[in-house]
Amino acid sequence: MGKQETKYWIARRRPGTLRFEPPSERMIASNDDVDGGNGYFSLALDVAGDGVVEWDLTQQVVAFSARWCELMGLPAVSMVATVEAWERLVHQDDAAMLFATLNGLTAACPRTELSYRVRCADASYKRMTLRATLVCDANGVRTRILAWQNDRPTPSTSRASLGELRDDAASPLAGQLLMTERLDAVVAQTRREGRSNFVMLAIDVDGFTAISASYGKEAANRLLAAVGERLRSCVHPLDTVARYGCDEFCVLLRCSSDSPLATTVSEQIQRALADPFMLEGRAVAVSVSVGIARVLPTHYCAADVSRDAYAAVHHAKMSGGNQCALFDDGMHETTKARLQLEAELRHAFERGQFRLHYQPIVSCVTGALVSLEALIRWEHPTRGCLPPSAFLDVLASTGLLNDVGRWIVGEACRQLATWRKAGACDAYISINVSPMQLVEQGFIEDVVAILAETGASPGWIAFEITEDLALGDTEIAMRALIKLREHGIRVRIDDFGTGYSSLSYLQRLPVGGLKIDRTFLEQFESDAHRRAIVGAIIQLAHVLGVDVVAEGVERREQLEELRVLNCDLVQGYFLSPPLSSDGIRQWIERRTLSS
C-alpha cells in the first residue's frame, strides 16, 4: 500500500478540484484518508489497455487508474476525485445519461454498457465505451461501481468472462450480453458498408411495476417469461430476441431501409399480446410500448443504438403506452431532460432538498384542527420551490420514492413530536403513500421502526392511499392494509371517485375513511347533480362506518353546503393552503388567538 499511497491526489468534496498539475505534498492523500485503509483494489486492474474507475458510493469519491488518465491524454498517475469533478469532464449532452445509468444500477441489474464523450487534455472530446458493474455488500447495499473504459467501439476484454449473461435465466431468450455482442457486430458491419440493414425494437411492458407490486416479483417474472415466449413467436428464428435489463425486451431484425418490416413486426407483437395472460388464476391484460431505431453508419457501438431505441420507447410510453414509435432526433431532447431530472432528484435527496409542507384538515362541525396533510416540495437550488407534479412521477419510476417515502414518514413524525411537545397541536399527520410503496417489502416494518425511533405513536399518523386498479384486489395489498390496521395506523382512500373503487369495494377494504376528490367540489354550489352525488357518498360511507373528508374547499358556500350534507372533515384553500412548518405554527397561533 505504501507505494500506492503517494500516487493518489485528493480533491475530495471540493468543487472544481480535479487538477492535473503534479501532486504537491499537500495534495497527496493516504488511502486512510479516502477509504478507511481498504485501498482502491481495482486500480491494479488496468486490463488490456482499459482504464479503470472505481466509484465509492459510500464516500462519494472516484478513483481513476493511471491508464484511465492516459486515455484522456493526461499524465499517467492514479487519482482520487469528487464525482462532480468527473462530471465536469463529461460532455454536457452525455452527463445526465451516464450518471442516471450508473445511479440506476441495482443488485438485480448490476451491469451496463454505454458510450459517452469525455474531455481530453487538449480540450477535444473523445468517445469512450464504458462497461460498469455495481458491487453490493452482503446486505445488498450499493457500495461501489467499477467501470472499465476504452476508446474502441468494441470492448477488448472477453465478454465470455461474464458468460452468465449470455442467456436469460428465466426464458429461452438471449441475454443482454449476447444481444450486445450481436448489436456490436451489426453496428460494425453497418459502419463498414455505409448502409443500414438492421433495426432494433425496444419493448417495454406497460405498467409492469404495478403488476409486480400487485402480484409479487415471482409471479411477475413468470409473466415476463410468458411475454418473452410470445415475442419469440413473432419473429424469424434467425432474428435475436433478448431480455434486456430487468423488465424489458429487445429484438434485432434484419430489415433493409426501404422495407416496412419493423412496423409490421411491432404490430404483430401488439396482436400476439392481445390475449390476456393467466396469473394466479386471474386474467391479466398486458400491453407493450415499442420503440424502433434503425442501426445507422453513424452509430459507434451497441449502446448508441439502444439509446435511440429507448428514447423511442420512452416516447411511446409518454404517449399513453400500447403503441410503437419510430426514433427521431427530437426524442433525444426529451430523454435528456428526463435523465437530467432523474440525476438531479438523486442529488436532491442526498443533499436534503426535499421539504414537507402541511395543510390543515378541520372538523366540518366545530372547525377544530383534526389533521395536517404532509405534502412534499422540492427546494430546487435554481428553480425555487417545486410542487410534486414537477417530479413525483420521475421519483416513482426511478424507485427513489420508496426511500423518500421513508424519509417523509420520519420527517412528519419528528415535526409532529416537536409540535406536540410544545403543546401547539394534538392533530395527527396524514401522509400520502402510493400503492407501490405500500406493498414494498419491509415498508410497514420500517414505518413501525420510525414510529419507535421518533417516539410517535401509531395514532399520530394516517396514510392516504389513492385508489388504484390493483389495490385492494390482490392479496398482497389486502395483507398490507390489514397489517397497518393491526399496528393501529389509520388508512384513508384518497381521491375517492376518480378511480375504480366502488362503495362495495370499500366495504371489503380495511380502511377507516375516504377523501372525496376535489373535482367533485367544482361548481358544487350551482350543480345539484354533483351535490346529490357527494351527499350519497357521505351517507353510504357513514353506513359503512367510515369518515369522509372533502378536499378542495375554496369558498364559504362549499363549506356550508358540505355541513348540510353531513360531511365530517374539510380541507382546502378556503381554510388554508399547504404551509411550511413555521407557517403552520403561525396559523395555529392565529386561530388560538381569535377563538
Binding site for Ca ion (CB under 5 A): 432, 464, 494-495
CB of 376 vs ligand C2E, minimal distance in Å: 4
CB of 567 vs Ca ion, minimal distance in Å: 15
- Measure the CA–CA gap between 295 and 327, rounded to whole angstroms: 11
Q: What residues pair up with 53 in beta bridges, in sequence order?
A: 64, 147
Nearer to Ca ion, 432 or 576 (CB): 432
Which one of Ca ion, ligand C2E, none is in contact with 552 (Cβ closer than 5 to 8 A by kind)? ligand C2E
Closest residue to Ca ion, based on beta-carbon distance: 464
Nearer to Ca ion, 304 or 495 (CB): 495
Binding interface with ligand C2E (CB under 6 A): 359, 374-376, 387-389, 392, 408, 432-434, 464, 494-495, 518, 551-554, 572-573, 578
Coil, helix or strand at residue 151? coil
Which one of Ca ion, ligand C2E, none is in contact with 171 (Cβ closer than 5 to 8 A by kind)? none
- Measure the CA–CA gap between 397 and 50, rounded to whole angstroms: 33
Return the sign of the alpha-carbon dihedral for residues 7, 13, 19, 22. negative
Q: How many beta carbons lie within 10 A of that of residue 195, not counting itself?
A: 11
How does DSSP classify residue 369?
A: E
How does DSSP classify residue 85?
A: H
For the chain, how are helix, strand and coil distributed in percent, rounded to 5? 45, 25, 35
Nearer to ligand C2E, 344 or 551 (CB): 551
CB of 578 vs ligand C2E, minimal distance in Å: 5
Which one of Ca ion, ligand C2E, none is in contact with 359 (Cβ closer than 5 to 8 A by kind)? ligand C2E
CB of 408 vs ligand C2E, minimal distance in Å: 5
Nearer to Ca ion, 31 or 432 (CB): 432
Nearer to Ca ion, 242 or 465 (CB): 465
CB of 267 vs ligand C2E, minimal distance in Å: 36
Nearer to ligand C2E, 240 or 432 (CB): 432
CB of 431 vs ligand C2E, minimal distance in Å: 7
CB of 566 vs Ca ion, minimal distance in Å: 21
Which one of ligand C2E, Ca ion, none is in contact with 455 (Cβ closer than 5 to 8 A by kind)? none
Which one of ligand C2E, Ca ion, none is in contact with 387 (Cβ closer than 5 to 8 A by kind)? ligand C2E
Whether residue 43 contacts residue 144, with contact meaning beta carbons closer than 8 Å, is answered with: no
Closest residue to ligand C2E, based on beta-carbon distance: 572
Q: How many beta carbons lie within 10 A of that of residue 570, not counting itself?
A: 25
Angle at 392 between CA 391 and CA 395, to 5 degrees: 90
CB of 528 vs ligand C2E, minimal distance in Å: 22
Which one of ligand C2E, Ca ion, none is in contact with 434 (Cβ closer than 5 to 8 A by kind)? ligand C2E
Which one of ligand C2E, Ca ion, none is in contact with 288 (Cβ closer than 5 to 8 A by kind)? none
CB of 6 vs ligand C2E, minimal distance in Å: 49
Nearer to ligand C2E, 527 or 554 (CB): 554
Which one of Ca ion, ligand C2E, none is in contact with 473 (Cβ closer than 5 to 8 A by kind)? none
Residue 141 region by backbone torsions, left for phi larger than 0, else alpha for psi between -120 and 50, else beta:
beta
Residue 580 region by backbone torsions, left for phi larger than 0, else alpha for psi between -120 and 50, else beta:
beta
DSSP string, 99-129: HHHHHT--SSS-EEEEEEEEE-TTS-EEEEE
Nearer to ligand C2E, 81 or 376 (CB): 376
Residue 136 region by backbone torsions, left for phi larger than 0, else alpha for psi between -120 and 50, else beta:
beta
Nearer to ligand C2E, 43 or 570 (CB): 570
- Measure the CA–CA gap between 79 and 69, rounded to whole angstroms: 8
Residue 362 region by backbone torsions, left for phi larger than 0, else alpha for psi between -120 and 50, else beta:
beta
Helix 302-318 vs helix 176-193: angle between axes, to the nearest 10 degrees? Answer: 110
CB of 550 vs ligand C2E, minimal distance in Å: 10
Nearer to Ca ion, 34 or 369 (CB): 369
Residue 56 region by backbone torsions, left for phi larger than 0, else alpha for psi between -120 and 50, else beta:
beta
